[in-house]
Copies of this chain bind each other. A is one copy, B any other.
Amino acid sequence: MDDKTRLDLYRVMVLSRTYEEALLREYHADKKPAFDIGAGLLPGEMHLSAGQEPVAAGVCAHLRPDDAVTATHRPHHIAIAHGVDLDKMTAEIFGRQGGLGHGRGGHMHLFDPATHFSCSGIVAEGLPPALGQAFAFQQAGSDRVAAAFTGEGAANQGAFHESLNLAALWGLPVVFIIEDNDWAISVPRSASTAVASNADRAAGYGMPGQRIEDNDVDAVYAAAGDAVTRARAGDGPTLLEIHTLRLWGHFEGDPQAYRPDLAELAGRDPIPAYQARLQKAGILTAELAATIKDEASARVEKAVEFAKSSPAPEPETARDYLFA
């Protein structure tokens, strides 16, 4: 791994975190004093991904805009790492006409044809469409691949099993990535999954599987590189499980009373850790880190501005887009 790559990973993670911090601020800004989920500029559930940046950055670094990505109900870090237009994505999250879906979809339903990005609010159900994208790529004889993300909780859903089997059977160019953040809302991994590592499930589909510990973006990058190379070469799918961290609540408003590890979370934040590592390695300086953060903030605030200045959809258009 060269220095530039590591700096790029850092940049992507910082951009993603900066974005989530801005959404956190905007989401809660007008839901005070009493939290009302439906109030304010950003109504509805809001699943933020702070802490999970290493997964998105490490995987998507290997993807091209013509590769497909399907993400989950917690999609922002992945969308950002894959290069979805930040302005349009933000406008969508704000429910504006200038959004990716003209405000129809919102934060769980981001669709970007330019980068073949999509996500779904139904756990594990983003995997099957990824197979179809991979199938289309395979049929066209291209070397394009699909990356399909899911949570460790979702890996116990039937769609997971069916998708892995079919992808392996047809040798589809897919990389399956499980983001194991230890929790599915309030249910800990130990109460959802009968095995310690989902990589153990890969053997049941005859595909390579690997678990990456410690939320380590370098390790994710390395493993994902192998998996993407394999897929591009026509050697079929791979399953990666990455042990990551849900730094905040499942959704905003989650009191997390069920969570015993709240106190230690800050110490496990992967971004300061990576910053320290890069500084120690002489790749990053405190000044450059500050610049990167500033650039990220500027980019994010521009996107928020774009969103806020985009018009709200007209009520009369509610039936538009039912059919093409």
Contact = CB atoms under 8 A, between A and B. Distances in A.
A204 B192 CA distance: 13
A229 interface: no
Interface residues of A, number: 25
Contacts of A205: 194-195
Interface in A180-211: 191-196, 200-201, 203-207
Interface in A203-226: 203-207
Interface string A159-176: 111101110110000000
Contact of A206 (B162, B194, B203, B207): B194
Contact of A168 (B159, B164, B168, B194): B194
A117 to B, nearest CB: 25
Contacts of A193: 165, 169
A305 B173 CA distance: 58
The list of the 6 closest CB pairs from A to B, nearest first, reads: A158-B158, A161-B161, A168-B194, A201-B204, A204-B204, A169-B194
Interface of A: 156-162, 164-166, 168-169, 191-196, 200-201, 203-207
